Structure 1
Amino acid sequence: MTCPPFAVELRSLLAREDVRSISRRYFISNGFDGTLTSIGIVVGAVLSGVPDGLTVIRIGLGAAVGLGTSAVWSVWEIERAETRAEIRRIERAMLTDLDDTRVQREHRSARVLHATMSGLGPLVGILVPLTAFLFEGSVFTMVEAAVVSVALGIGVLGAFGAYMGSISGQRWYVAAARMGLAGLVVAAVNLVLPG
């Protein structure tokens, strides 16, 4: 059984460390932003007296759409400019046009992968913590759902940190604790804000 061309191309892209590294950075960076945003939304919503979990989920989904769109769009444009500049440098060095060549197709495919991973990061970072509010009213009160949501967010941040620590040769648990600490800081700052 032969693989479809896009699967072969994806496998080839993922075999390249430079492509994996850039996609990983976008995913983790935007996932970090999404998770901290989610924690801020959750704590702020509960402290503001939002009456039910469904409303918190709706607010969070709005943030997910905004951050996800921003992540995809910005990375698409950034990578488009960077790869065009790189192709132009190669063309000047080789004195040839690289339109519709393997080099151009690989750059375009890498750009699609980077933008996709960039957009997935904030979706994971926002949606995982919000799952606690699916059980508000049946399993949790609003405050309990918020506590579980913040804990889930800290867990997501810790997973990001552990992963980055493991690939960089650091102690994964120290990297996890450093990333998770950011979630605690955001929750604490929101608790002490006036209003």
Structure 2
Amino acid sequence: MDIKDLISLTHSQGIIRRYFIVNGFDGALTMLGLILGFLFSDPTDIDNIINVCIGAAIALCVSGISSAYVSESAERQYVLTKLEQSMITDLSQTSHAHAARTVPIIIALVNGLAPFVISLLILLPLWLFKSGMVLPISPLLMSVLIAMTIIFLLGVFLSRVSGISWWRSGLRTLLVGILTAVLIFVFVGY
């Protein structure tokens, strides 16, 4: 069985989608918070900013992978055990057992890689600036714009699931990003 079949067998499409959105959103908001914190603070060396943000991105990744794997493995094993009990047979050599072992790994990777990849995208202007590229605006401001765009796009992605207007869904998530920025400005920007 291929991965798509295992996901289908376990009805995990929605779980994977939720983990991608939730942890992707966490990654975007975390990077937004860090970048704005640096933007509203005394000037800091670009290497320090990148290192702090990469440290946070790695922590989000490891946390996402480990927490999802532990919880999903337990859930999949529970479902498999219940199925074995109801069928009064050992299913350890079946596609159900294979799925119970494989799907938690897939879910864990999605849960951990979503915030990591999104964080790297948000940090791209900082790396470009560090490499000597001339940017039209400050690399920190450009990172904020990328974070807000990604937050909006996560909302657009959610609209496909919920069936509501992509514009409305994107604006709703963007408002969360804006509220986050306002709160950071109020508490850190003064």
**TM-score scaled by structure 2?**
0.89
Within 5 Å, give how 1:99-114 maps onto structure 2. 99-114=92-107
Unaligned runs of 5+ in 2: none
1:4 match: none
Identity of aligned residues (%): 29
Q: Deviations over 1:65-122 (max 9, x none)?
A: 1010000000001101111111111111011122232211012221111111111211
Is 1:93–2:76 an aligned residue pair? no
1:193 match: 187
- Tell me how many residue pairs correspond in the alignment: 187
1:144 match: 138
Separation in 1, partners of 2:150, 2:117 = 8
**One-letter code aligned to 1:70:** S
Q: Does the residue aligned with 1:18 lie in a helix, a strand or coil?
A: coil
Within 5 Å, give how 1:34-53 maps onto structure 2. 34-53=27-46
1:166 match: 160
1:175 match: 169
Separation in 2, partners of 1:176, 1:53 = 31
Is 1:83–2:85 an aligned residue pair? no
Separation in 1, partners of 2:147, 2:158 = 17
Separation in 2, partners of 1:103, 1:33 = 32
2:149 match: 155
Q: What is the RMSD of the two structures over their aligned residues, measured on CA atoms?
A: 2.0
**Of residues 13, 24, 41 in structure 2, which corresponds to 1:20?**
13
Within 5 Å, give how 1:119-134 maps onto structure 2. 119-134=112-127
1:31 match: 24
